[in-house]
């Protein structure tokens, strides 16, 4: 779910001065030559102070900067990216033809009548039904009215922040997918940024390290309103066990938090002791929202399709329904996922599509295991990679930026420094399994050559 | 841009008690039978007080309720909808095949490499370039770096509110597309709702009536931060002239407002005295954001594709760039429009696609004119319909709900009561031109029969 596009383009260090920006140029503002009235040079509208607080930007454009500098020095370098969590394999044939048919149907009167105009903001009913059938009916009580189809997890997370409103106390795993913190800053949950600790005030950072099996001490979040929890985790690749999930759910129910459970990688879980949805856990329906995505299962990163589960049993402190407010937010801030993408979702959940998704996920899982094996053979401690498409390599407390640069310089491979996901991520580097096999094999050769201990 | 799906599903009158809701049922919350720990019946998270302030919901579900009651009494009624602003005609063939090809390409390695993964949150560069070429290059200085492709105007409006942050003074035309006010309420711009005036406190309602040529007295908005201005207007169908647009731009530049100029229906303009984009007006680049959509041009309501223009010259009071903050917001709250929808956009802006869009718009415009003629022949004063797909019929100050009910009862035609768009809309009924021709002809016959004066 984390992607370099998010990072490089969203987190620009300085206004209009970053040469790595795709959207912003150094051109001067254009004005018409003849102006008849007094034209204000700028509006009287003050800048949103929350926007001014966004800081993480200093970190990520740095990746692009260093990569570009490396390419400039070594113009023939054949860069391989294990950095971006962006799918590389084509969308499987049965899904692609489902989408093409959904598109073609919009050219007919009957087809347009069926799926052409505004749809329900919560998604097409057959898709909501199929999501329940494929992901929830076996082990949970979730029903289709609790499924809200959307254009993806990142977008839903931001709309959730809008629904909760400003001034909430938010807890995140550290390290974590940067969108949790960024959307918290934009929506007014943070009071300031501490340069020394690299942390925002009023955000609870729950450390996830090998020493605690990447499952945090939840007590730190006792006073939080919202807990973001991602499993299988981006970036560490750790999947929470049933017992850990139970601990999380019990904690939230006891202390009254709402957990936003990010399950975007759940399909990658192979450990039978790790639930594939939080709703397998008793009591989860009174404290958990679950956010899911087709992105990493079927190569839908660019197609934009996901869903969020908001159980009927989830209530605010006044007893009012969270699902009701979520529905109103979605209906005001959203207009439904693209009907053709929903056609793709329907095809992905057909028997043929489901099988092809398993194959695609299997391919990336194989990649992850090849990377894990490589680093283990090289003598590193390696985490993740079994239940997730991310490999979290322990570089013995070394500065992760330094390691990132060393890998790039020696092997022309782009990774992501762990510090990019939060201060506790330092000392680690994340490798993504989203890569063509031939590129991965070349990358592994290079790594073996340069990083033999 | 206004749609009944927006209204019926978003604006529910009472929590979980509305039988017209698509998403919410009366089922009781489900709990697991065996619960090992003390489970809180509800979270400790307080409800966002802004959400609790949403009121408009009392109005719109009423349309569905009355319609359903009518159908229950008259089960054989052949209802014709002129209510919803939702396109009815199939997407033209060249656009549909462009989309199908975009979908099929995602099944190949080369195609996936090109458009398959995460794209720029601001849209594919060729699409941004084509939007400039088709809509801006001839008469404005807007360039592609100022174009942000999105999943539609409604979604962008909500993200803009998030960017501006809470506590802004917002001015809207009255009547207006309900999403301006609803998103203002959700994002904390409103302090309360006055049942008597049917208006939110802290929102400036600028009356648009025949007496002022549907162009408001802007002085009311002198202290506002943000002015929402829609032209051609939904629901009145009025397109602002060049002189009126100049007045708006000069006013905003003088007083420091930012104008969110909603041009979702600009393609419908035929009056040469009305600009098709606000950037035809001198000085607009220092005060205007423009929001646009493919929805009503190519039948993309369900496909979700639009764009927003944020000029480089637009600055906050501290001189910082609005475009910079918009880009950061889009990169955090959004992940790009669906790549297949963007493929549809590219096809729509090809020579063949452009011609087919003109034909589709021409078809709906013909519908609008047929409706206008009908009501004029019946002796009503009729507005709109020439530069917009909406016909705004003056019912001589009669209660618009009463008129709505009368039309439904007598003719089985669903319209939208003007009061649904704001208190000043009362006395009017909006008819939408989005309708199959045969249905429209039947509707006209019925209207002629029942409403001869």
In chain A, where are the structural domains located?
A: 62-90+353-450, 93-350
Q: Which residues, in sequence order, are CB contacts of A310 under 8 Å at separation 6+?
A: A146, A148, A289, A322, A323, A326
Contact between B301 and A336 under an 8 Å Cβ cutoff? The reply is: no
Asked if A31 lies within 8 A of B254 by C-beta distance, the reply is no
User: Mean of the per-residue pLDDT values for chain A?
Assistant: 90
Q: Which chain B residues in 273-332 lie under 8 Å from chain A, judged by CB atoms?
A: 282-283, 285-287, 299, 301-305, 311-325, 327-332
Structure tokens at B302: 């369900």
B363: exposed, middle or buried (Cβ count in 10 Å: 0-12, 13-18, 19+): middle
Q: Which residues, in sequence order, are CB contacts of B278 under 8 Å at separation 6+?
A: B245, B248, B249, B259, B261, B263, B284, B288, B290
Chain mean position to CA B60? 15
Asked if B331 lies within 8 A of A54 by C-beta distance, the reply is no
Q: Is the pLDDT of residue A150 over 90?
A: yes
pLDDT of residue B307: 98
pLDDT of residue A78: 96
Asked if B304 lies within 8 A of A107 by C-beta distance, the reply is no
Q: Which chain B residues in 158-177 lie under 8 Å from chain A, judged by CB atoms?
A: 158-159, 162-166, 168
Asked if B163 lies within 8 A of A256 by C-beta distance, the reply is no
Which DSSP string do the residues of B321-388 spell out, in sequence order?
BHHHHHHHHHHHH---S-HHHHHHHHHHTSHHHHHHHHHHHHHHHHHHHHHHHHHHHTT-EEEESSSS
Q: Which chain A residues in 385-424 lie under 8 Å from chain B, judged by CB atoms?
A: none
Q: Which chain A residues in 204-263 lie under 8 Å from chain B, judged by CB atoms?
A: 225-226, 250, 252-258
A62-90+353-450, CATH topology level: 3.90.1150
Q: In what order do the strands lie in the sheet with B147-150?
A: B147-150, B306-309, B288-293, B258-262, B226-230, B170-174, B203-207
Q: Is the pLDDT of residue A266 over 70?
A: yes
Per-position b or e across A4-40, b if 16+ CB within 10 A of its CB = bbbbbbbbbbeeeebebbbbbeeeeeeebeeeeeebb
Q: Which residues, in sequence order, are CB contacts of B31 under 8 Å at separation 6+?
A: A285, A286, A313, B39
Contact between A145 and A313 under an 8 Å Cβ cutoff? The reply is: no
A445 touches chain B (CB under 8 A): no
**Beta pairing partners, B292:** B307
- What ipTM did this prediction achieve? 0.91
Residue spans of beta strands (DSSP E) within A192-250? 193-194, 199-200, 203-207, 226-230
Of A44, A107, A316, the CB nearest to B42: A316
Nearest CA in chain B to A49: B165
The residue among A191 and B268 whose pLDDT is bigger is B268
The half-sphere exposure of B107 on its side-chain side, counting CA atoms within 13 A, is 16
**Beta pairing partners, A428:** A394
Residue positions counted in chain A: 453
Task: Read off the pLDDT of residues A314-358 as tens digits, 9 standing for 90 and up.
Answer: 999 999 999 999 999 999 999 999 999 999 999 999 999 999 999
**Beta pairing partners, B293:** B306
Asked if A30 lies within 8 A of B285 by C-beta distance, the reply is yes
pLDDT of residue B55: 76
Task: Read off the pLDDT of residues A278-327 as tens digits, 9 standing for 90 and up.
Answer: 999 999 999 999 999 999 999 999 999 999 999 999 999 999 999 999 99
- In chain A, which residues have their Cβ closer than 8 Å to the Cβ of B3? 117-118, 335
Contact between A372 and A408 under an 8 Å Cβ cutoff? The reply is: no
A12 touches chain B (CB under 8 A): yes
Entry pTM: 0.91
Asked if A103 lies within 8 A of B84 by C-beta distance, the reply is no
Of A9, A183, A316, the CB nearest to B47: A316
Of B93, B299, B314, the CB nearest to A112: B299
Which DSSP string do the residues of A103-119 spell out, in sequence order?
HHHTTSHHHHHHHTS--
Strands B226-230 and B170-174, by their bridges, are parallel
B366 touches chain A (CB under 8 A): no
Span A172-189, average pLDDT: 95
Asked if A285 lies within 8 A of B31 by C-beta distance, the reply is yes
Determine how many CB atoms are found less than 10 A away from the CB of residue B202: 16
pLDDT of residue A308: 98
pLDDT of residue A444: 98
Q: Is the pLDDT of residue A175 over 60?
A: yes
Task: State how far the Cα of A275 lies from the Cα of A245, in Å rounded to an integer.
Answer: 8
pLDDT of residue B5: 34
A93-350, CATH topology level: 3.40.640
Nearest-CA distance B381 → chain A (Å) = 30
**Closest to B293 (Cα-Cα) out of B247, B355, B357:** B357
Q: Is the pLDDT of residue A1 over 80?
A: no
Instruction: Give the ranges where B11-144 is alpha helix by DSSP (H).
Output: 49-52, 61-73, 93-105, 109-115, 125-131
Residue A24: pLDDT band (50, 70, 90) is very low
Of A122, A162, A340, the CB nearest to B99: A340
Task: State how far the Cα of A13 lies from the Cα of A21, in Å rounded to an integer.
Answer: 10
Nearest-CA distance A322 → chain B (Å) = 8
Contact between A395 and A389 under an 8 Å Cβ cutoff? The reply is: no
Contact between B404 and B66 under an 8 Å Cβ cutoff? The reply is: yes
Q: Say which CATH architecture domain B93-351 belongs to.
A: 3-Layer(aba) Sandwich (3.40)
pLDDT of residue B19: 34
* Residues A249/A250/A254/A259 CA torsion (nearest 10 deg): -10
A26 touches chain B (CB under 8 A): no
pLDDT of residue A267: 97
- CA separation, residue A91 to residues A99, A153, A281, B53 (Å): 10, 19, 32, 44
B5 touches chain A (CB under 8 A): yes
- In chain B, which residues have their Cβ closer than 8 Å to the Cβ of A42? 256, 286, 315-319
**Same fold for the domain at A62-90+353-450 and the one at A93-350?**
no
Asked if A154 lies within 8 A of B304 by C-beta distance, the reply is no
Structure tokens at A106: 């919009």
**In tens digits, what is the pLDDT along chain B, a chain of 453 residues?**
333 333 333 333 333 333 333 333 334 334 444 444 444 478 999 999 999 998 756 556 678 888 889 999 999 999 999 988 899 999 999 999 999 999 999 999 999 999 999 988 999 999 999 999 999 999 999 999 999 999 999 999 999 999 999 999 999 999 999 999 999 999 999 989 999 999 999 999 999 999 999 999 999 999 999 999 999 999 999 999 999 999 999 999 999 999 999 999 999 999 999 999 999 999 999 999 999 999 999 999 999 999 999 999 999 999 999 999 999 999 999 999 999 999 999 999 999 999 999 999 999 999 999 999 999 999 999 999 999 999 999 999 999 999 999 999 999 999 999 999 999 999 999 999 999 999 999 999 999 999 986
Structure tokens at A38: 């007094």
Structure tokens at A75: 């113009």
Nearest-CA distance A390 → chain B (Å) = 17
Task: State how far the Cα of B289 lies from the Cα of B309, in Å rounded to an integer.
Answer: 6
Determine how many CB atoms are found less than 10 A away from the CB of residue B14: 11
- In chain A, which residues have their Cβ closer than 8 Å to the Cβ of B44? 225, 255-257, 317
Asked if B335 lies within 8 A of A111 by C-beta distance, the reply is no
Contact between A180 and A376 under an 8 Å Cβ cutoff? The reply is: no
Chain B contact probe: residue of A13, A14, A41, A42 with most B CBs at under 10 A: A42
pLDDT of residue B3: 34
3-state percent helix, strand, coil for chain A, nearest multiple of 5: 45, 15, 45
């Amino acid at each position: 779910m984390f992607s370099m596009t998010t990072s490089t383009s969203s987190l620009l260090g300085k206004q209009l001065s970053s040469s790595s920006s795709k959207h912003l140029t150094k051109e001067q503002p254009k004005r018409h030559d003849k102006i008849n009235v007094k034209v204000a040079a700028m509006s009287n509208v003050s800048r949103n102070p929350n926007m001014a607080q966004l800081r993480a930007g200093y970190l990520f454009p740095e990746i692009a900067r260093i990569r570009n500098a490396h390419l400039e020095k070594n113009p023939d370098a054949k860069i391989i990216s294990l950095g971006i969590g962006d799918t590389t394999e084509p969308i499987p044939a049965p899904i692609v033809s489902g989408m093409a048919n959904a598109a073609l149907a919009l050219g007919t009167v009957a087809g347009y009548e069926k799926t052409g105009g505004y749809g329900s903001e919560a998604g097409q009913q057959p898709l909501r039904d199929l999501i329940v059938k494929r992901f929830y009916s076996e082990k949970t009580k979730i029903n289709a009215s609790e499924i809200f189809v959307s254009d993806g997890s990142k977008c839903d997370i931001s709309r959730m922040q809008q629904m909760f409103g400003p001034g909430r106390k938010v807890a995140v795993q550290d390290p974590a997918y940067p969108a949790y913190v960024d959307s918290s800053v934009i929506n007014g949950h943070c009071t300031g940024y501490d340069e020394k600790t690299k942390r925002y005030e009023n955000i609870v950072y729950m450390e996830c390290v090998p020493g605690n099996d990447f499952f945090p001490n939840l007590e730190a979040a006792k006073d939080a309103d919202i807990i973001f929890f991602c499993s299988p985790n981006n970036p560490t690749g750790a999947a929470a066990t049933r017992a850990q999930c139970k601990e999380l759910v019990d904690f939230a129910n006891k202390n009254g938090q709402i957990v936003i459970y990010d399950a975007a990688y759940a399909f990658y879980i192979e450990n039978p002791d790790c639930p594939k949805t939080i709703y397998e856990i008793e009591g989860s329906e009174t404290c958990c929202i679950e956010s899911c995505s087709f992105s990493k299962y079927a190569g839908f990163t660019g197609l934009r399709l996901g869903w969020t589960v908001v159980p009927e049993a989830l209530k605010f402190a006044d007893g009012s329904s969270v699902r009701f407010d979520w529905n109103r937010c979605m209906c005001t801030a959203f207009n439904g996922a693209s009907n053709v993408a929903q056609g793709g979702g329907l095809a992905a959940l057909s028997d043929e599509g489901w099988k092809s998704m398993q194959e695609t996920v299997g391919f990336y899982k194989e990649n992850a295991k090849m990377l894990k094996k490589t680093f283990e053979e090289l003598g590193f401690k390696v985490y993740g990679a079994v239940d997730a498409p991310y490999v979290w390599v322990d570089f013995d407390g070394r500065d992760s930026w330094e390691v990132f640069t060393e890998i790039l310089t020696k092997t022309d491979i782009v990774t992501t420094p762990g510090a990019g996901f939060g201060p506790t991520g330092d000392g680690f580097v994340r490798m993504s399994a989203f890569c063509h096999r031939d590129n991965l094999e070349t990358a592994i050769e290079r790594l073996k050559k340069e990083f033999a201990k």
